[in-house]
Structure 1
Amino acid sequence: MGRRTENRNIDVTKARGELEEDLLEYVYRTWRQGRQITSKEYAREVNITGYEAAGLVRSLVKKGFLCEPENGHLELTDKGKLEGMECLARHEKLTQFFQMVSGMDQQRAQEDACRVEHYISPEGLKGIENFLQYGDVYDRIYDDMDLYTFYEDGDFPMAFGLYEPERRNPRFLATEYEKLEQSVILRVKKSQNCFRLKTKKDESIGCVWYRRDEEWIQAKEEKGVYQLPTDIFTYTANTGIPVTEAVAIIAITRFEQKPLPIDYRELNIHVW
């Protein structure tokens, strides 16, 4: 058995199987983000001992979900990726469900989802999926979302705006907006999701940056197409109209220097 204290100051004792699913979900999420972790890093993140984390890793390796660790990094097998995707999908759908029916914030909803996701039946989860599509009660705000749990593989054009973040009432479009194609493309693949900003023919906007964990990272660019990870956005689902608004602060610079506040732009995407 493992024990951790959640943010509500409630001691929560978890069964071994729950702890293994939590680890598998975490490794899958970091893999989707293009990152690697070690069992020691995971232990610090969830407040368990290194010995407990190592035991969970050994069990998942034995079950075929993780490869034998190399250089300490945890790597999913193909079987582990499939199971991890299912764990993450359950968690994110339950988090949204609790937000919608209760109005609780994301952190509280995630805590409840962590408990329920290990026991909910396929029929119960299917009912919640239907409710998410047709029965919104509250607007909800969430971040760090993996849109692969909601879209099939493919490219999806979406309307967007690029604004100067400090100028509101009225809002002002950034000068770079006129140099971009009219739609941003959501590209969904099993390995990675991204929003793709494309410049118009013979136009250039320089370097595009996004922020993760307070660090500015230069977006990948190829032939005037910039790739922005979907998990850097904050999403607001509106109950009154069938649209989810994705918002992120990005930066645009002429050269490859770190952005200054004057370079910041607000990217607003309508996710239908």
Structure 2
Amino acid sequence: MADKKKENRNIDTAKARGELEEDLLEYVYRKWRQGRQITSKEYARTTGITGYEAAGLVRSLVTKGFLYEPENNNLELTEKGKLEGMDCLARHEKLTQFFQTVSGMDQERAQEDACRVEHYISPEGLKGIEHFLQYGDVYDRVYDDMDLYTFYGDGEFPMAFGLYEPERRNPRFLAAEYEKLENSAILRIKKSENCFLLRTKKEESLGFMWYRREEEWIQAKKEKDVYQLPTDIFTYNANTGIPITEAVAIIAITRFDQKPLQIDYRELNIHVW
């Protein structure tokens, strides 16, 4: 679902109402997957609809059993809502990739087209698109803010990675911190979270790791010697025949608990399979 006000809503009032409800459900689900909560007012500001309209959509989704009655104005999904939200998000992401694949358009334009199609496409049509994405790619593509749960089931998946000095290319130089990390990153997929795990080698110390979201630097969670990086901060690259080939993000590593400077920036490149 693109974060834009819908156009041409008067084409079909009943369907347009259903589209708006699915868009809200998909948005709340995406934020829940990222460990965040939103209110109907925040959703209205993000999408450009009125607060009255957003409140009406929430009431409808509560009646249908997709949302709980809001507490503290936060929107919370029921189990039924989580399943439906996951389905909405999967349709949106696969359609976005499809339009990028067959046309070479950028992600924003592909998302706009996906928003129009995702509410009407049949299960057979979506299955055909999934098959095409797997076996009939045409264009390489780049996309971000992706939920890897639509590609993987629950589990942990080891993946090769590189940590580079971002300003040094042709040739690229590995950052000094790379030698302090285990050789594999782990993609951890759960229903409630997706993250990449980076583990320091035995008796090595790395300091503080940071990632950037919406221009803000956030300190990565650390459990013992393992750092957690949310999957939605990465940009994903794909080429013909392979849904995802690599995940790239600018992170930072500091010795002290302080916001990073440019000299602390590192490029993390994970080879996704």
Q: Return the TM-score normalized by structure 2.
A: 0.94
What is the SS of the residue equivalent to 1:65? coil
| Aligned twin of 1:147 | 148
Alpha carbons 1:5, 1:12 under 8 Å: kept: no
Ranked by relative contact order (alpha carbons within 8 Å, sequence separation 6 or more), the top structure is 2
Does the aligned pair in 1 maintain the 2:245–2:272 contact within 8 Å? yes
- Is residue 99 from structure 1 mapped to residue 110 from structure 2 by the alignment? no
Say whether 1:253 aligns with 2:233.
no
Q: Counterpart of 1:195?
A: 196
Counterpart of 2:53 in structure 1: which amino acid?
E
The amino acid of 1:89's aligned partner reads A
Number of the residue aligned with 1:68: 69
Unpaired stretches in structure 2, ≥5 consecutive residues: none
Report the TM-score when normalising by structure 1.
0.95
| 1:48-76 CA distance string (max 9 Å, x none) | 11110000000000000000011111110
Q: Are the equivalent residues in 1 in contact too, given 2:30–2:89 (CA < 8 A)?
A: yes
1:37-116 equivalent positions in 2, closer than 5 A: 37-116=38-117
Q: Does the 8 Å contact 1:193/1:230 carry over to 2?
A: yes
Change (3 A) 1:70 1:38: same
Q: 1:82 to 1:31 in 2, by over 3 A?
A: same
Q: 1:21 aligned to 2:22?
A: yes
Distance across 2 between alignment mates of 1:242 and 1:250: 24
> How far is 1:15 from its partner?
1.1
Cα offset, 1:5, TM superposition: 5.0
Structure 1: give runs of 5+ residues left out of the alignment: none
Distance 1:242 1:189, change over 3 A: closer
Counterpart-to-counterpart distance in 1, 2:198 and 2:136: 32
Runs of at least 4 residues off by over 6 Å:
none
Work out the number of aligned pairs and report it.
266
Equivalent pairs: percent with the same residue? 85
1:243 shift after superposition: 5.4
C-alpha root-mean-square deviation of aligned residues, in Å?
1.4
